[in-house]
Amino acid sequence: MDNITSVRQLYRQPEPYLDQLVTVSGWIRTLRDQKQFGFISLNDGTFFNNLQIVFARDSLANFDAIARLGTGTAVVATGRVVATPGARQPIELQATSIAVEGECPPDYPLQPKRHSPEFLRSIAHLRPRTNLLAAVFRIRSVAAFAIHRFFNERHFVYVHTPIITGSDAEGAGQMFTVTTLDVDKPARKPDGTIDFERDFFGKHTNLTVSGQLNGEAFALAFRNIYTFGPTFRAENSNTVKHAAEFWMIEPEIAFADLGDDMRLAEDLIKAIIRDVLSECPEEIAFCSQFVDKGLLGRLEQVSTSDFGTITYTDAVAELVKVKDRFSYPVSWGCDLQTEHERYLTEQLFQKPVFVIDYPKEIKAFYMKQNDDGRTVAAMDCLVPGIGEIVGGSQREEDLAKLLQRLAELDMREEDYSWYLQLRRYGSVRHAGFGLGFERLIMYLTGVANIRDVIPFPRTTGSADF
RNA sequence: UCCUCAAUAGCUCAGCUGGUAGAGCAUGCGGCUGUUAACCGCAGGGUCGUAGGUUCGAGUCCUACUUGAGGAGCCA
């Protein structure tokens, strides 16, 4: 492979290659032939744009064989790199030899035309060869690396929290059971219930719905940590922004309050956007042209402007002013509906906005109780087009208050014994949030359906490929 | 889980108040000295999602089911 030149190199730094012989390898996206010459648009996987290969009858022995090739064929081509100023592409390769490495028969499903996202989902193994999915998945990769770089530069410790969890009381929706019991004839107790003591782990276990509680343990040792891994929800939800398997980023910071948490979330999102804009200009340009016309302008604006902040109480007051435009009523104490969130971020602020200090009744038990006795130090970051992209809070570090909250919610203390110990031994104020990685990718690309930003999506009733 | 809509050629779709199917692209063949989702000509390709029902006759109307999509709830 040493003698293969990548299309990325040719586009990014063409000068050393001009008028030189190089060899490239890739897949034919389109082939157009005429009597004496033809053109191949070659994608080699390293770069979004295709390399145009020109081949002529008088300089290519196998001209007729090459001219018959179809979309999808894998070829290795050698030729001279030529600058083509004024043409639609800056350079092209004038081939001296083209060899077929892998044939592609005429029933190849991908055509040089626009396919529906539904059809492409049915051929998830081939769809990364399309412009849209190629853009989405390179952006996904670059964004993931940007996240690691952001935290690494700030000396956060990257923690691998468990995928299989023994606590079935995290309270974030339906969970998938993990078991080696015979599902036809599971071991049962005398009372007829399933005997999980005879299961692999000696207890009932699930796939994780959040790494947060484990993350808190590490934050109280390393101060600043983050997790970045898969998460599973068995909710039977069928929407454009829910999947059964998705990835989540969960930082946790110690000696920090809600304001520190919000600044971290804002800095993180801006850093990701900056990295993607600078490393994936071709992909963003494509998405901005074919997926969402306003994408590029919005990303540039968000990466340079400050996010808004509004308390839940003030937000409800604003929503009540325009309540006639909503189909769900608004009042203090209710959870904000999607339409409410979108009004706040798209109409009122017209940029990302943090909504903070929610009523404690609609938020999780571990959130820091504010002095007013009725709200908690929680924050949701809402972005135009998507809605909630980040949800976080300062955590309750006071053992007595946490115990009291568990009792109010009728939760069992013994299920949280190790978590409660974190408050007994050197407890400090701390905070964190969860960032849904797929929703971030949707925001970065303008793609409307979560199934099109996950390579092989798992959703209700669908786990193909 | 609830509500709504859809299913016709490999893909994207048209097919009116019921009278047994069309286009573009793709594919195959031919043409074209610079194309770029190329263009021009010809050709092949469909038991209209499945199962029932109404009718002389169903792609079209009715029922059920399957699959997909959109919205809601839940959330990331």
Q: What is the mean pLDDT of chain A?
A: 92
Q: Are A358 and A375 in contact (CB under 8 A)?
A: yes
* Protein-proximal nucleotides of chain B (any atom < 7 Å from a CB): 1-2, 10-13, 25-29, 31-38, 67-76
What is the spatial distance, in angstroms and rounded to an integer, between the CA atom of A464 and the C1' atom of B9?
Answer: 26
pLDDT band at A9 (very low <50, low <70, confident <90, very high): very high
Which is more confidently placed, A324 or A424? A424
Distance A276 CA to B48 C1' (A): 46
- pLDDT at residue A113 greater than cutoff 70: yes
Q: Give pLDDT tens digits for A226-283.
A: 999 999 999 888 889 899 999 999 999 999 999 999 999 999 999 999 999 999 999 9
Nucleotide nearest A339, CA–C1', reads B72
Which residue's CA shows the smallest distance to C1' of B71?
Answer: A239
Smallest Cα–Cα separation from A151: which of A435, A389, A394? A435
Which residues lie across from A11 on neighbouring strands? none
> Measuring from the CA of residue A38 to each C1', which nucleotide is nearest?
B35
Amino acid (one-letter) located at A149 = R
Q: Whole-number Å distance, CA A184 to C1' B52?
A: 35
pLDDT digits (tens, 9 = 90+) for A351-400: 899 999 999 988 999 999 999 999 999 999 998 877 888 999 999 999 99
User: How far: A237 CA to B18 C1' (Å)?
Assistant: 40
The pLDDT-based confidence of A223 (bands split at 50, 70, 90) is very high
Query: pLDDT digits over A293-328, tens only?
Result: 889 998 998 898 899 999 999 999 999 888 878 878
- A172 pLDDT band, cuts 50/70/90, is low
Provide the ipTM: 0.90
- Confidence band (pLDDT; 50, 70, 90) for A411? confident
Nearest residue to B33 via alpha carbon and C1': A36
| Nucleotide B67 C1' to residue A257 CA (A) | 49
Cα torsion A128, A129, A132, A136 to 10°: value is 40
pTM of the model: 0.94
Strand partners, A100: A75
Residue nearest to nucleotide B67 (CA to C1'): A461
Question: Tokens 């055509």, residue?
Answer: A111
Please tell me whether residue A127 adopts helix, strand or coil conformation. helix
Distance A50 CA to B44 C1' (A): 32
Which nucleotide has the shortest C1'-to-CA distance from A438?
B76
Structure tokens that stand for A224 in this block: 């600043």
User: What is residue A135's DSSP assignment?
Assistant: H
C-alpha count within 13 angstroms, C-beta hemisphere, residue A277: 17
